[in-house]
Amino acid sequence: MIEIQLPNRAYVTFLAGNRDYVKGVVGLAKGLRKVKSAYPLVVAVLPDVPPAHRRLLLDQGCIVREIDPIYPPENQTQFAMEYYVINYSKLRIWEFVEYNKMVYLDGDIQVYDNIDHLFDLEDGYFYADFLNMFFKDIYQPIPNVYNLVLAMLWRHPENVELDQVKVVHYCAAGSKPWRYTGKEDNMQREDIKMLVKKWWDVYNDDTLDYKKPVVHNDGAMESGALQPLIAAAMTEANAPAVKYVAAPSAA
């Protein structure tokens, strides 16, 4: 019998729609593997993420959790971008109560150094607009080495030590590596080109693909390769029934 101890900490990301944003999540999974993270990547997916994309994520060692969409009131979405409307669905992540701590990473983030120590920070580290306002007198923002937004490279270069950066957020217009053309403003910068290439180096590295479980002669299975099996068990046993609600693509 194989005794499986479920992890109580996890990285979490979010995916919606059927377009190419899944490439970002695959890249993130491989990046976490490259830096030898000890914790799984949980992908909160909306119902419109197709089975082929879910299988791709499972094959990369991710735990796939379907969530029910949350939409804001219709009278507040008239001028909102589609992607920001479905972002309310990320609140479902708070329902993942089997984890004591989670670190949320957007799908267009890449991790270039181990950041597992973030799980050991004291509670109360917030980095979101509402929380920054509500907790403005007590919050402690994380330094940009843990979330380098690429626009910082040309807006505040004096605050960026690129060789120290652990986490890069490819959220500037035109910077997502899987769509990069170099035609948008600032995308011809050498530092941007370097970071796009760095992302592709991780994504294209076959040695970083998830390795399936290895069963030894005595029947023991390597614990580090159990994550998709755990995910499958959780999906079959615990996944709630979710009514399908169409959602725009996260791309």
Task: Express each pLDDT in 130-166 by its tens digit.
Answer: 766 777 777 666 788 999 999 999 999 999 999 999 9
Structural domains in the chain (count): 1
Interacting residues of 23 by C-beta distance below 8 A, sequence separation 6+: 178, 203
pLDDT of residue 131: 67
DSSP string, 46-113: -TTS-HHHHHHHHHTTPEEEE-------GGG-TTS-HHHHHGGGGGGGGG-TT-SEEEE--TTEEE-S
Residue 79 within a domain? yes
Residue 1 within a domain? no
Query: Catalytic: 197?
Result: no
Residue 251 within a domain? no
Residue 249 within a domain? no
Q: Which residues of the chain have pLDDT under 70?
A: 1-6, 79-80, 124-129, 131-132, 139-141, 214-251
Amino acid of residue 182: G
- C-alpha distances (whole Å) from 219 to each of 1, 3, 34, 222 are 8, 12, 28, 10
Report CA dihedral (77, 81, 87, 88) to the nearest 10 degrees.
-10
Q: Which helix (H) or strand (E) holds 27?
A: helix 21-34
pLDDT of residue 232: 43
pLDDT of residue 143: 83
CATH of the domain at 105: 3.90.550.10
- C-alpha distances (whole Å) from 159 to each of 34, 112, 175, 186 are 27, 19, 20, 18
Phi-psi region of 17 (alpha: psi -120 to 50; beta: other; left: phi over 0): left
Count CA within 13 A, CB hemisphere, residue 154: 11
Residue 97 within a domain? yes
Please name which of 86, 85, 63 lies closest in space to residue 13, comparing C-alpha atoms.
63
Residue 176 within a domain? yes
Among residues 90, 166, 198, 243, the one annotated as catalytic is: 90
pLDDT of residue 115: 97
- The domain of 175 spans 9-238
Measure the CA–CA gap between 106 and 129, rounded to whole angstroms: 15
Q: Which helix (H) or strand (E) holds 195?
A: helix 190-203
Residue 244 within a domain? no
Residue 250 within a domain? no
